[in-house]
Structure 1
């Protein structure tokens, strides 16, 4: 959440006044979450929030209840996601590794300087009465200095390996936190994050952005007739066809239950319909066999609804239009793709 602790009182007052003035001008209800959004906007610490609101204002978008809630949930509500934690820790590990390297480099430099000093001592002691003893002492000191440097270098190698293993574990944990365990596609959280970023980019660039939602036809029948294991097998098949049917840079995700979603940045409605239709036909042509017995189950089909993003449209509104198109596909006999009329 936004904190005022690190702001000077006069600056906080000025920012608050400006935020309230903007809220009044744009007819934004004066609620605590809304004030938090507009305070953060005026403060300017979130570049993504400022960019989004600037685009919405330039498009004369009305900041209604739904849009204000979307802004708050997207940019200011504390989620505590594993991905954010992993990213933070990963940055800390970088800092630790840099510190270790600097310590070793400094120690080696000190050792080299010390060795040079000892060499000078050696040159001086050569004129002494017992030069052999002086040189032995010098050699011993140089050996100890070299051993210290070697030990520090070994510690660096060990620390680097441990940090590398830990970072790899964190990256794997973050990947698991963003992946649906059953289908291997992006999960709901990763999908929402990707789509919101794609919406901002589309508004900024003016490029198209489209989404298609697919649902397995008569999915309950598979579970009731053949059991949940076959239902899971069907979902994995549909997920595989979806992933293989979209383009590089697109995202395939599990939206929920037997519903999957494809998000296509840069694609207009017509292109997205073609891709959704390609996925549909690929699924319909697949042969599904029960793994335990080899029994041929029959055809699996999906219905798909497609919608193109409208600048300033909320996440919920875009998905709702997609879902409405999907419903019309179901009503039209299933196993078809229908685009949004809106």
Structure 2
């Protein structure tokens, strides 16, 4: 199962938080490239990795159309796919953000230079009026000059303020764009759930709170017989099922919980301030909701066999490593699989199972 390979990868020193998921997608990409006799260049691999990740509908549709019409993936076709669907996605955000920031910094520099020049001009004008006063010029004339100079200063200040306000709004847009990019970097492309990077960060924060005595529990969910489902109906339908499971998980956990993609067909949820019993109750709600789902093949409307999940549940023990918590959860999941699947098993049943064995 994916959980075991994930744990082994962590023990072996891999740092990539999405290693298992990426490895699964990469394997599918390489196999399809070999079947289509496509050279395994970085550009070609990027195309097919994105295709199987399901992150770009336009790319998927283009490749599916080529396959349906038995079109060869020659050098020209491969290059067009990369230049049309991959290269713009890779560079557009970074290039656009850099250019906009450069423009804004230039504008801000110009505004500041103008403000400094206007300030110097105003000081000079007031100094000249002061000199005229010392020379005995009519006070009424001096007052009029001062009023005119202050009016011009106010007008310049208003223009500068409007300019700064406009650039501030542009900076807000850039900040929002960067925030969305960061969010995408923390989100699993296929399911829309948190990815391993976001999961690891959340677990570290939750562990800190739990070490002060607050309960913390985790549930690990695996789709039963998912490999045979993929083999019978295809990976695109399998992806559809995985998205459905992710949606149910997201809807059934609490607002403060974090549902995430753990690897392959495994999903996970971290439940702060929830003991083993509460987590098991939520896991059972999730299991029943998934068992009641009806799945329809989008392309044909065909009703597909029902899907079930097995779920393992474990609670954090103060001071332990998070890997130990996940390992107990994983063993409980294996026990659920071995006990017939479509069930929830908590870590409290591990000792009883060991004693009975």
Normalising by the smaller structure, the TM-score range is 0.5 to 0.7
Alpha-carbon contact 2:126-2:146 (below 8 Å) kept:
no
| Inter-CA distance 120–140: structure 2 relative to 1 (3 Å threshold) | closer
Superimposed CA distance per residue, residues 182-240 of structure 1 (whole angstroms, 9 cap, x where no aligned partner): 1111101111111121112101x212111010001111122211111111110111011
Over aligned residue pairs, what C-alpha RMSD do you find? 3.7
**Residue 147 of structure 1: how far off its partner (Å):** 3.2
**Residue 155 of structure 1: how far off its partner (Å):** 2.5
State which of 306, 309, 314 in structure 1 corresponds to 2:316. 309
State which of 236, 259, 266 in structure 2 corresponds to 1:259. 266
The size of the alignment, in residue pairs, is: 247
State which of 166, 179, 199 in structure 1 corresponds to 2:207. 199
Please list every run of 5 or more consecutive structure 1 residues that lacks an aligned counterpart in the other structure: 1-68, 74-92
State which of 241, 251, 254 in structure 1 corresponds to 2:248. 241
State which of 264, 271, 277 in structure 1 corresponds to 2:284. 277
Superimposed CA distance per residue, residues 262-295 of structure 1 (whole angstroms, 9 cap, x where no aligned partner): 1111111111111101000000001100111111
Alpha-carbon contact 2:221-2:310 (below 8 Å) kept:
yes
**TM-score normalised by length of structure 1:** 0.63
1:80 is matched with none
Alpha-carbon contact 2:125-2:149 (below 8 Å) kept:
no
2:84 is matched with none
Alpha-carbon contact 1:208-1:265 (below 8 Å) kept:
yes
1:168 equivalenced with 2:176 (yes/no) = yes
State which of 152, 156, 177 in structure 2 corresponds to 1:148. 156
Aligned 1:291-306 pairs, distance under 5 A: 291-306=298-313
Alpha-carbon separation, structure 2, partners of 1:115 and 1:139: 15
Aligned 1:74-85 pairs, distance under 5 A: none
Alpha-carbon separation, structure 2, partners of 1:289 and 1:206: 45
**TM-score normalised by length of structure 2:** 0.60
Alpha-carbon contact 2:133-2:139 (below 8 Å) kept:
no
1:329 equivalenced with 2:314 (yes/no) = no
State which of 207, 216, 222 in structure 2 corresponds to 1:215. 222
Please list every run of 5 or more consecutive structure 2 residues that lacks an aligned counterpart in the other structure: 1-10, 16-100, 352-357
Alpha-carbon separation, structure 2, partners of 1:200 and 1:109: 54
Alpha-carbon separation, structure 1, partners of 2:310 and 2:282: 13
2:231 is matched with 224
Alpha-carbon separation, structure 2, partners of 1:243 and 1:317: 25
SS at match of 2:201: helix
1:187 is matched with 195
SS at match of 1:248: coil
